[in-house]
Each structure stands twice: as C-alpha cells, then as structure tokens.
Structure 1
Amino acid sequence: MNMSTAPTALQAGPDDSTWMRKSFSMVQSRLRVDLGLGSQSISHAGTMGSVNEGNWIAVLRAYLPDRYEVEQAIVIDSRGNRSDQMDVVIFDRHFTPVLLDQANHRLVPAEAVYAVFECKPTFDKGLIEYAQAKAKSVRELHRTSVGIAHAGGMYAPKIPFRIAAGLLAPEASWADGLGKSFSGNLSTALDQRLDCGCALDHGAFDWFDGSLKVVPAECGLIHFLFRLLSHLQGLGSVPAIDWREYAKIVE
C-alpha cells in the first residue's frame, strides 16, 4: 500500500516557489531587525548611520558576485575632482585599484564605479533631493577610457556607462508608502535620477525597464537585489583607465 507524504522543499513541483519566497522574506526580516536595533540602541546619529550603512553593505556583498566591491568611499577623477563621502559604492576591484585605503578612507577612481547609494532612516522629500544631488555629483566626474591590447590587435576604448544611483532605508515617510507622494518627488532628469532603491517596510522601485516600477514590501529587498544584479550584468566591465591622465596629478 502506497503512503502519501507531504513534499519537502526539494520535492516541490517546478511552480512551487513558496519556500523560496519564505526564505527570502526571512533575509529581509533579519535586515529590518538589524536596522531597528541600531536605531534603538545607538544615540549618536553619526555612529548609527555608520552601523546602518554597514548592514546594507553586508547584504549587498552577500548577493553580488566577487567581481563587485562594495564599500563606503569617495569617488575621484583624473582632474582632481572628488565627490562627498558616499554611503555605498559598488565598484570594480579586479581591473582597478583603490588609490587610498586607510582606516576606511577610500579613494575610488570614477572609471571603476558601477553604482552609488545613500543609506538613510527614511524616504522623504528632503532625503530624496539630497541623494539625487549626490548622484549628480558623482556622474559629473570625468572618466577616461583607453583601448585594450589583445592577441588580434586592439579593442576600441569603451564608452563609459551611466553610473547607477539609489536610496536605501528601513521605511518611507508617506502614508501611501511608495505611492504618488513618493513618485511625485522623484526627478526624471537623467543626471540626478535615482535608478533604484528599497524602503524595507514599503517596497522597492527601479527604472531599469525605462519606466518607474514599484513592488510591495513582501520580498521587496530580494526583488531590488535581483533587479540590480540584472542591471549590473548588462553593464559588462568598466572602461580601461588612462593612467597617464592620473600620472599628471603628481607631475
């Protein structure tokens, strides 16, 4: 006589993704607890900010391939320009060295940068404007590009891609979450637009398909991470830096 048993996760049918959703939801819940603990137990705003940035950096490191480095950093260019300290910078470390890395003070060449994020306690009008201004300051930095030699000749210099930017927070401040109040405060200007982000309690958003896409809070973090992964995958490698331009700084 055959005895029927409840299927395990490994035995689940091809369309049964419930177990995956539950697993990803637990990752999101853990991050929310960590962020909440920081806000409740740390009174100094600067220290709390650093702790929260560290939590977001840890999650991004866990899900991004090793080719991507994730750190707090200042972004610089070969003309001596520099950004403010950026909460999160996703950059290439395989082809591009960090020019200074001492006591968490890092200078990253603009050519190496894939994306930058601000980590804040909430989404609101002022913090969105602040994040957009910082995104613009990084995108305005000069980036060089040179050809790369290979066995058959030279690859042409790669046109630098647009650096992605975003905002990360535990929640949104509006009653409608990531609804019309939120979208009404987003700039559509390409030099300052926030391409993606996540407010854990209210969902995630991105413009990666050409229009604003918003998803609800359930598994919003994982949706954000997978969409970011897809975007980074499409960018390919960073341009090859013209180190002669950086050498001029110290001549």
Structure 2
Amino acid sequence: MSDWSLSQLLASLHEDIHNRLEISRKSFNHSVVKGSASEQVWLELFEKYLPKRYQATTAHVVDSKGDFSEQIDIVIFDRQYSPFIFNYEGQTIIPAESVYAIFEAKQSVNANQIEYAQNKVASVRRLHRTSLPIPYAGGVYPAKSLTPILGGILTFESDWSPALGKSLKEALDKHDSDNILNLGCVAAHGHFVLDQSNLKYEFFTESKPATAFLFNLISKLQFSGTVPMIDIQAYARWLSN
C-alpha cells in the first residue's frame, strides 16, 4: 500500500503559498518592498504550477496600433505561439494577442484596491487585438474569435470583516464590461469567481483558498483555448515610422 496522500500534498501546497505571503506581509516595513515580495510569491506559484504553454511576468501590454497598457503586476501569456516578447531596459512588453489573464497583487483588499485593479484590467482589455485565418494541410481555418481576457486581484488579507462579505461584493459590482474582475483570491480567507452566465459573483470560504483559486484559474485557462494567430505585419508597419 502506498504511503502517499493527495490531501497531504495539496495541504502542503497551500501551506507553502500561505506562509510565504504571510511572511512577505509581516517581514517588511516598506509598502513597496511588501508589494514586490507578494507579487513574486504569486509569480513563482504560476510559473511552477501552470502548464508550460503559459508564462507569468510583470509587464506592459502593447497593441499593433502602438497603444500601451499600464504596468500590470502579473500577466499570464502564451509563450508557445507568441512570435515575439520585448525586453527593453529591464521592462517586459507583451503583444495584446498573447495575453490570457492579468492580475494585480496587493497585500490587502479594499474598495480602493478593487477599483485600482479594475482600472488596470481595463487598460489591457481596451487594446486592439488582431486575429488571422490559420492555414493547415487541408486548407485554412477561419480567424479565431477573440477570447475574453481574464482579470482579477490577488491579496493575502482583507480590510473588511467578513473578508468575503457584502463590502467586497459591492466593490466588485461597480464595473463595466471593460474593467470587470473575473476571479480573485484573499489567501487567508477564500476566493471569488464571476459566474459568466448571470454576471454574479460566487464567494468561497474554504480551508485552502490559494490552492482552490489556483485550480479554478487553471480550469478557466483550459476553456480559454489558444490565443489567436497574431498579424505580424500589423506590427511590422511601425518599422517604417
């Protein structure tokens, strides 16, 4: 009989995430340092556990019209089919077509941080994305419809009590189509997910929130399919400017 325990493995995963986020919150006095440490925990989590077709980094997003997003704490993007990712003076710049999901990582959630995350998400979703027909041996597939970009917020704590109660719901409900948050995690308490069928939020207060959130994110990415075929020539036009 095997001595392995799946429940213990999952518990260990959650404890590792929870402990690292808690340490980053308690061990640093400077808010910027705290924020950077928290981002790094989430980035390493995604890099370690997401399928290799996805990568996660802090980045700006650019479109073929030359418009840029604000800097995003965590961009989850395609690396298998993305033809180029820019790295300039220590900054990463990702074409809009390559983006699957974007998150803001904060120490604690409150109304201001929700609004802040919504604005960051909107700055990416408003960018232009191209999509070309896809050739294959038997002909050409039509251009893929653009998959909605997931957006959310990741924190360790909440300024509200209860953490996932009425106040959080009211803050999340103040949105339009561009800035709506699809999911998020308050690692010390639970996570939330937007039900796309009725645009209502579901809140989950479980014993292992970070792990539950990670599994929910992977599930949503699975249903996102593959990013569209990028129109390289739309970007190449800028070479003559």
The normalised TM-score by structure 1 is 0.88
Report the more deviating stretch, 114-123 or 219-228: 219-228
Q: 2:227 aligns with which of 238, 241, 245?
A: 238
Q: Please identify runs of 4+ aligned residues in structure 1 that moved more than 6 A.
A: none
- Structure 1 pair 79–189 and aligned structure 2 pair: CA distance change class (3 A): same
Structure 2 distance, partners of 1:65, 1:145, is: 23
Which residue in the other structure is 2:177 paired with? 190
Question: Which residue identity is paired with 1:244?
Answer: Q
Contiguous gaps of at least 5 residues in structure 2: none
Structure 2 distance, partners of 1:218, 1:104, is: 38
Note the C-alpha offset of 1:56: 0.5
Q: Do the aligned partners of 1:200 and 1:217 also contact (CA within 8 Å) in 2?
A: no
Which residue in the other structure is 1:4 paired with? none
Q: Do the aligned partners of 1:145 and 1:159 also contact (CA within 8 Å) in 2?
A: yes
Which residue in the other structure is 1:216 paired with? 205
Q: Do the aligned partners of 2:17 and 2:210 also contact (CA within 8 Å) in 1?
A: no
Contiguous gaps of at least 5 residues in structure 1: 1-6, 11-18
The normalised TM-score by structure 2 is 0.92
- What's the % identity of the aligned pairs? 36
Note the C-alpha offset of 1:102: 4.5
Q: 1:117 aligns with which of 103, 116, 126?
A: 103
Which residue in the other structure is 1:228 paired with? 217
Structure 2 distance, partners of 1:222, 1:95, is: 28
Which residue in the other structure is 2:15 paired with? 29
Question: Which residue identity is paired with 1:128?
Answer: I
Which residue in the other structure is 1:40 paired with? 26
1:160-184 Cα offsets, whole Å, 9 max, x none, are 1110001000011111110111111
Question: Which residue identity is paired with 1:162?
Answer: P
Q: 1:163 aligns with which of 149, 152, 172?
A: 149
Question: Which residue identity is paired with 1:193?
Answer: I
1:86-144 Cα offsets, whole Å, 9 max, x none, are 10000001111443224641110000000000000111000000001111111000000
How many residue pairs are counted as aligned between the two chains? Answer: 237
SS of equivalent residue, structure 2 residue 211: helix
SS of equivalent residue, structure 2 residue 234: helix
Which residue in the other structure is 2:139 paired with? 153
Which residue in the other structure is 2:194 paired with? 207
1:180-225 Cα offsets, whole Å, 9 max, x none, are 1111111353311110010011100111453322111412112111
Note the C-alpha offset of 1:146: 0.6
- Larger-gyration structure (1/2): 1
Is residue 247 from structure 1 mapped to residue 236 from structure 2 by the alignment? yes
Structure 1 distance, partners of 2:124, 2:3, is: 45
Note the C-alpha offset of 1:81: 0.6
Q: 2:87 aligns with which of 101, 112, 115?
A: 101
